[in-house]
Amino acid sequence: MKIEKNKFYSGSLGDMPADEFRKYGHQIIDWIADYLSGIEKFPVLSQVQPGDIKKSLPAAPPIHGEGMDNILNGVEQKILPGITHWNHPGFMAYFNSTSSGPGILAELLAAAFNANGMLWKTSPALTELEEVTLNWFRQMLGLNEDFWGIIYDTASVSTMHAIAAAREQIENYQIRQQGFAGAKDIRGFRLYASEQVHSSIDKSAITLGLGIDGLRKIPVDKEFRMIPSELGKAIEEDRKNGWLPFCVVATIGTTSTTSVDPVDKIAAICEREKLWLHVDSAHAGVTAIIPEMRNIFNGVEKADSLVVNPHKWLFTPVDLSVLFTRKKNILKRAFSLVPEYLKTSEDSKVENYMDYGIQLGRRFRALKLWFIIRYFGTEGISERIKEHLRLGKIFSEWIINNPQFELMAPVPFSTTCFRAHPKEINDEAKLDKLNEALMNSVNSTGNIFLTHTKLNDKFVIRLVISGLRIEERHVITAEEILQDKLTELLIGKEHRA
Ligand SMILES: *Cc1c(COP(=O)(O)O)cnc(C)c1O
């Protein structure tokens, strides 16, 4: 194949010429505008097979530069088929993340500045905009002034930092200095979370040297919420057996069902036992922006830290997770380490975000959150999330009123856990099979994308509504597809029988 020469390329060294950048910059923005407004043309779930994309690409890098036309053609022909469209209104899987116009434009600017916010000095606006924007975000969520915020990439990393701070706070042991080698007199440090907790907590336990055994999972009630009395018992038992309890993770909006742990009761136990309380509200936390939903944060005022992800339900392109803490200085004590070459004359007057985590360099993520909050406004954001809650209710009521389906967990937000359960089938293994087949057949339509979980060992389908582009008609489509595909599967069964 003949590769067209790049007519802008002058043969001199340096970057892409400004005229070329302008030309393709405009072209790409036009492409994105068409892509987003026409997104329903695409199957939401990529239909490629494993290895398809790799096979379609050259195994070795080009020796000579290629023209941008070639590169962009490659995006359309080779990359696009392998994209699962998170921005598609039919994306109702996992916890969705949708991007928005203001968020995308801010990402572009952030890449252009390429500012690295390791120190205040390395871009004062990066640090100060993060402080201002997170102070806005704190107010939007109704959190008290003693919560200070910092942006990390993901909730997994935010939580890992919170638990590291909790570890730093442990009295009588110098983990930072001596590692766990200085704690040979105890059996181990113990972290607590419910059985429904996100796997990132287990990963924190692995990363921070607590080990998987250092995380004790507390049973949940029928509505998948941590049972506080069981937490109390576990702590007492552990202390007797030589463990040192130090931290509890409560969840507001668990990953499978969005259940809400009783944070106020858990906070009382943490206060009594002097344990750090971290609250994981990565997905559902943003609903506290709606005044009527604010009660989900009951007890959070007593938490030591809280994570909320704007990159989930706040229309922010991945990645952007916010950790709020009331113990900023302990987080700093856990991580601050300033070598000579990073000292500046402003250190006593400013925040240097490198002091609050393992990474030195950091992206200008605050810019996109600032764009989004300014563009939509608190009210615009609140109205959108409210609409998602309304649509979630429409769907869950459809499930409740449909004799062939069964609701499998309460619906505190807009995530519905359900399964098909026709009256004539009562064998659990058959129901699992039927629901797995139903989910796969729904996903193969390309119109909606759903994922599953297991609750009490039963295969359960989840439908999540949190995408920026979702409208009532998409919920109706989801209902129709579920009903049609179930009918098809049941008729197929009769034929085979
Ligand atoms: C999504 C989610 C996480 C993990 O979020 P990342 O940002 O992908 O690391 C953790 N906890 C809860 C409750 C979540 O919903």
Residues 6+ apart with CB under 8 A from 285: 141, 252, 253, 296, 297, 306, 307, 308, 309
pLDDT for res 494: 66
The answer to whether the beta carbons of residues 418 and 403 sit under 8 Å apart is no
Question: How many Å lie between the centroid of ligand 1 and the Cα of residue 57?
Answer: 32
DSSP state of 78: I
Taking the CA of residue 154 as reference, the ligand 1 atom at the shortest distance is 7
Q: What CATH code is assigned to 18-85?
A: 1.20.1340.10
- Whether 156 lines ligand 1, by a CB cut-off of 6 Å, is yes
The one-digit pLDDT tens for each residue of the chain (497 residues) are 555 566 676 667 899 999 999 999 999 999 999 999 999 999 999 999 999 999 999 999 999 999 999 999 999 999 999 999 999 999 999 999 999 999 999 999 999 999 999 999 999 999 999 999 999 999 999 999 999 999 999 999 999 999 999 999 998 888 999 988 888 889 999 999 999 999 999 999 999 999 999 999 999 999 999 999 999 999 999 999 999 999 999 999 999 999 999 999 999 999 999 999 999 999 999 999 999 999 999 999 999 999 999 999 999 999 999 999 999 999 999 999 888 888 888 888 999 999 999 999 999 999 999 999 999 999 999 999 999 999 999 999 999 999 999 999 999 999 999 999 999 999 999 999 999 999 999 999 999 999 999 999 999 999 999 999 999 999 999 999 999 999 999 998 666 65
Locate the ligand 1 atom nearest the alpha carbon of residue 319 and give its number.
7
Give the type of residue at 382: S
Q: Is the CB of 98 under 6 A from ligand 1?
A: no
- Tokens at 134, concatenated: 């997170």
Give the span between the Cα atoms of 141 and 123, in whole angstroms. 28
Delimit the domains of the chain by residue range: 18-85, 116-364, 377-496
Provide the pLDDT for residue 194.
98
Strand spans (E) along 85-196: 148-152, 188-194
DSSP sequence for 197-250: --HHHHHHHHHTT--GGGEEEEPB-TTS-B-HHHHHHHHHHHHHTTEEEEEEEE
For the chain, what percentages of helix, strand and coil (3-state, to nearest 5) are there? 50, 15, 35
Correct CATH for 116-364 of 3.30.499.10, 3.40.50.300, 3.30.1440.10, 3.40.640.10: 3.40.640.10
∠ CA 110-111-113, rounded to 5°: 65
Position 346 scores a pLDDT of 87
Q: How far is the CA of 287 from the centre of ligand 1 (A)?
A: 15
198 lines ligand 1 (CB under 6 A): yes
How far is it, in rounded angstroms, from Cα 303 to Cα 287?
A: 18
Question: Does ligand 1 lie within 6 Å of residue 396's CB atom?
Answer: no
Asked if residue 200 has its Cβ within 6 Å of ligand 1, the reply is: yes
Most distant CA atoms of the chain, gap in Å: 81
CATH superfamily to which 377-496 belongs: Aspartate Aminotransferase, domain 1 (3.90.1150.10)
**Residue 328 DSSP SS3:** helix
CA distance 270 to 139: 25
Q: How many angstroms separate the CA atoms of 287 and 388, rounded?
A: 10
Which residue's CA lies nearest to atom 14 of ligand 1? 282
Same fold, 18-85 and 377-496: no
Helix (H/G/I), strand (E/B), else coil: 422: coil
Other beta carbons within 10 angstroms of residue 327's beta carbon come to 19
Q: What is the Cα Rg of the chain in Å?
A: 25
Q: What is the rounded (10 degree) CA torsion for 95, 98, 102, 108?
A: 100
